Structure 1
Amino acid sequence: MSKRNREENHQFINSEEIFNNNNFMEEKAKKFVKLDTQEIFSDDICFEIISMLDDSWFILNNCTLISKQFFNVIKERSKLVIQFKNKITEKRVELCMKSQFMNSIVNVKFSTNLLEAIEELELVTEMKQLTSLNIRGNRIGDEGAKYISEMKQLTSLNIRENEIGDEGAKFISEMKQLTSLDIRGNRIGDEGAKYISEMKQLTSLNIYYTLIGIEGAKFISEMKQLTLLNIYYNLIGIEGAKFISEMKQLTLLDISNNEIGIEGAKFISEMKQLTSLNINYNEIGDRGAKFISEMKQLTSLNISYNITGDRGAKFISEMKQLTSLDISNNRICDEGAKYIVK
């Protein structure tokens, strides 16, 4: 393991393990005062030893007790990933707030339907080194989106399925440090897409099932820095596909279930920089499959549920560079299957 990799090593721990013992920090403090503070190894060697361990709970519950030096090395260099699975009680919040490892937490995930009040997010705002937050499926709404938008240190945010509208999208668009955003399953519509399109620093965006139409697709197409886009299950149609096809920097695109048809497939086939494409549920047929088969740079293709027959299968079979292909649930008979399995 290289020194750089060791320094970026994330130590994983479940939040339940942190809060299981109500006297966790108090007991640790009592044991800590009995330790010998003499330094035998350098800090780098101590971290080297810690990096060989995969059990974060063991590290926090045991290695922090070895010496003051080990304690400080763990506190200053470890990167913790915490998942909240059960209800967040006031006692748990209090214990976590007192933890000397709050600034070691870089990634937090909440289970769905966990939060009962927006105020419970205060705990997360105190994690000053937090860069990644997953809060999917917690019904935080526009008010919660406003709360989250104040966390200016985040670079990755999953806020999917949270009953957020265009107003909430406006709050999220103010997070200029984000590079990855998953806002799928919210009702942001074209107006919300306009706000999101102003996030010029984003490189990865998931807006699957957000009621975006042609106008919204136009706004999104102006995000020239995006390399990954999931716009699955919206209402963009052929005109929307034309706008999306102008995003020449994209390498991964999911445009499934958007009623783009044969003409839309033609527009998408002009995206010569794409390496991964999901275009299922678009009724592109054999003619659309022919257009897609001209994308010789693709390595991954999902063209399932597209009314494609044997002719379409023959066209797709010519894409010898593919390493991943899903052509299931089409109208391919034995003849078409022979082309694919060659």
Structure 2
Amino acid sequence: MRKIYFFFFLCYSIGLLAQMSLNPAERSALIQLFHSTDGTHWNNTWDLNKSPDTWFGITIKNGSVTRIQLSANHLKGAIPPAISAFQNLEVLDLGSNQLSGELPSSLSFLSHLKYLDLSHNLLKGDAEVVKSLSELEELSIGYNQLTINDINGFVGSFKNLKSLDIAFCGVATLPGNFNEKSQLEKMDISGNPITSGFEVFTQLKSLKQLSLSKLNLEKIPSSISALSQLSLLDLSENSISDFSSLRNLENLEWLSLENNRLESIPMEVTALRKLVHINLNHNKLTTLSALSNLKNLEQIFANRNVLEGNFPEYLLNLPKLQMISLVSNQLSGELPLALPAVTLVQNNRYTLAQLKALLPILKDKYIEYSPQRYDTEVVVKVESNNTATLTQSLSAAEGYTFTWLKSLEQDMRSHFESHHFDKIKDEDFTLYTCEAYYQKKENDVYFEISFFREPIALESNTLNTDENPLKSLKIHPNPAKDFIMIDIENLDLKKASIYDMSGKKLMESTSKKVDVRALPSAVYVLIVETDMGIKSFKVLKY
């Protein structure tokens, strides 16, 4: 009997070993992938001295690799031609890395591939090599620098496609060769210069998720109203004013209208009774009261609007609300203790006392409240070589420590309630802020917060403006959509920096043509540094 058990155990062990061992050609190809993409610096690296079945993201079956799943693992470099060695590969997920170069032609030999994700990388060139992968069910190549020249021929190659991401692939029209039997459930066409073909949506009856971000839309395509199964719709970063096509989307649960310059919540949104998540970030909303009747809402995002006054307590009557984010508004006043489990209110105008009132609930809820802003923007005009004093309203006696910041970020090693200049120099003319920091353990809760003073602009008050070397320094256009041009005569540009109104640096450029396309609509501070001094501008990005 023992011999029989041993025989079966031996057979099982041999079978298991055969399944997990890897043929030499594929092992070599994995090692080439490792070296080609800087494997020693991956987030989850491989020990090449160990068996491949122990390597992160690798699935082996019957001696062959069937899955390579290395998304968001800090791969950096090119996809090697040896990728063709994986003849039984079904899943290749290399998304959200730093892969560069062109797609290798050898990719076309992965005839069993069902899932391919190369999105969110730095890949460039023609995407046509993917066309031969006819068994694909999910394809994500968006958010690269790839191009699709023949969209109908490209999409027509895939008969079983359920998910398609071709964002930022230079597509000018939507494919017209879908049919009523299309199985497509998820589609992302964001960031393409699409001007026609939207009627194809009437054929995509199974579509459940659709991303139309950054398409320069002014109205929602009417064909979308035919998508009765749609549960997710991303319309962010457009300029939509006509929302009538939302009316029939009764099953919509997730909606993003971020950065659409909305001054009010569209009436059509209030009819979406199944809505669970709504993103209204980066608009011009003054109230969220229109959301009060959406009883299934669980998450509300309304960052970077123009909400003022008290916290919108009417939203606390939503029975399923779990999270609300109201970052970077102008809210102030008492905060209710019945806040959702996750509440984000950073970069508003709440005081220390108002935030300390939350101490009883900080152990039970996740509340982000630091930093906050205080005081108002001021301009201090002074002549060169004179004295000047920058002030703020908080006191060290209340437990604050202070740090003054030049150009909104440079630590001046000044830690007093005010900052004094004995002799103003030309390079001192810029924006300043002060960080007031408070920390204390109270009621077994470690309470820590920073307050940032609204910017102080120190400007030259020289009487003879003809002698001011920065007089000719100007910018245009303002407001700006894509680029800001710096007009500079007889001056050398050192750098131009853009900050949000809380003082956080968002970007830096050494070019006279500053690309602001990636910035959402908002008011920013542009600081231009030259060899003759610094000049600041308040700019509106739309």
Does the TM-score normalized on the shorter chain lie above 0.5? yes
Cα deviation for residue 134 of structure 1 reads 1.2
Query: What does residue 375 of structure 2 align with?
Result: none
Query: What does residue 81 of structure 1 align with?
Result: 92
* Aligned equivalents of 2:175, 2:132: Cα separation in 1: 23
Query: What does residue 188 of structure 2 align with?
Result: 182
| Contact in 2 for aligned 1:185/1:208 (Cα 8 Å) | yes
SS in structure 2 of the partner of residue 181 of structure 1: strand
Q: Deviations over 1:115-160 (max 9, x none)?
A: 43344x1xx3443432111111233144256324422222111100
When you count strand as a share of all residues, which structure comes out higher?
Answer: 2
What RMSD, in angstroms, separates the aligned Cα atoms of the two structures?
3.7
| Contact in 2 for aligned 1:145/1:164 (Cα 8 Å) | no
**2:256 aligned with 1:254:** yes
| Contact in 2 for aligned 1:305/1:329 (Cα 8 Å) | yes
**2:200 aligned with 1:201:** no
Asked which structure has the greater RCO (Cα within 8 Å, sep 6+), the reply is 1
Query: What does residue 233 of structure 2 align with?
Result: 229
* Aligned equivalents of 2:121, 2:280: Cα separation in 1: 29
SS in structure 2 of the partner of residue 116 of structure 1: strand
| Contact in 2 for aligned 1:276/1:300 (Cα 8 Å) | yes
**2:112 aligned with 1:103:** yes
175, 179, 182: which one pairs with 1:170? 175
* Aligned equivalents of 2:58, 2:265: Cα separation in 1: 55
Amino acid at match of 1:325: I
SS in structure 1 of the partner of residue 305 of structure 2: coil
Cα deviation for residue 203 of structure 1 reads 1.0
SS in structure 2 of the partner of residue 93 of structure 1: helix
| Contact in 2 for aligned 1:290/1:312 (Cα 8 Å) | no
Amino acid at match of 2:280: I
When you count helix as a share of all residues, which structure comes out higher?
Answer: 1
* Aligned equivalents of 1:156, 1:16: Cα separation in 2: 30
Q: Deviations over 1:249-287 (max 9, x none)?
A: 1111112222343251x431221111111122332312x
| Contact in 2 for aligned 1:140/1:162 (Cα 8 Å) | yes
| Contact in 1 for aligned 2:280/2:302 (Cα 8 Å) | yes
Amino acid at match of 2:189: I
Amino acid at match of 2:167: R
| Paired residue total | 272
Amino acid at match of 2:227: M
Amino acid at match of 1:186: N
* Aligned equivalents of 2:113, 2:217: Cα separation in 1: 38
Query: What does residue 135 of structure 2 align with?
Result: 129
| Cα distance, 1:329–1:162 mapped onto 2, change above 3 Å | same
194, 218, 225: which one pairs with 1:213? 218
Amino acid at match of 1:146: G
Amino acid at match of 2:246: I
* Aligned equivalents of 2:154, 2:332: Cα separation in 1: 54
Structure 2, unmatched stretches of 5+, are 1-25, 34-52, 66-85, 340-357, 362-542
| Contact in 2 for aligned 1:81/1:106 (Cα 8 Å) | yes
| Cα distance, 1:110–1:292 mapped onto 2, change above 3 Å | closer
| Cα distance, 1:272–1:110 mapped onto 2, change above 3 Å | closer
| Cα distance, 1:118–1:304 mapped onto 2, change above 3 Å | closer
* Aligned equivalents of 1:279, 1:145: Cα separation in 2: 34
Give 1:116-155 correspondences, 5 Å limit: 116-119=125-128, 121=129, 124-136=130-142, 137-143=144-150, 146-155=153-162
Q: TM-score, normalised by structure 1?
A: 0.66
| Contact in 1 for aligned 2:237/2:257 (Cα 8 Å) | yes
Structure 1, unmatched stretches of 5+, are 1-14, 23-51, 66-73
Query: What does residue 40 of structure 1 align with?
Result: none
Q: Which 10-residue stretch deviates more, 291-300 or 175-184?
A: 175-184
SS in structure 1 of the partner of residue 60 of structure 2: helix
159, 173, 183: which one pairs with 2:166? 159
Q: TM-score, normalised by structure 2?
A: 0.44
| Cα distance, 1:312–1:295 mapped onto 2, change above 3 Å | farther
Q: Which 10-residue stretch deviates more, 253-262 or 79-88?
A: 79-88
Amino acid at match of 1:80: V
| Contact in 1 for aligned 2:296/2:319 (Cα 8 Å) | no
| Contact in 2 for aligned 1:193/1:212 (Cα 8 Å) | no
Query: What does residue 272 of structure 2 align with?
Result: 271
| Cα distance, 1:311–1:269 mapped onto 2, change above 3 Å | farther
Amino acid at match of 2:118: K
* Aligned equivalents of 1:17, 1:299: Cα separation in 2: 49
Cα deviation for residue 105 of structure 1 reads 4.6
SS in structure 2 of the partner of residue 335 of structure 1: coil
Query: What does residue 290 of structure 2 align with?
Result: 291
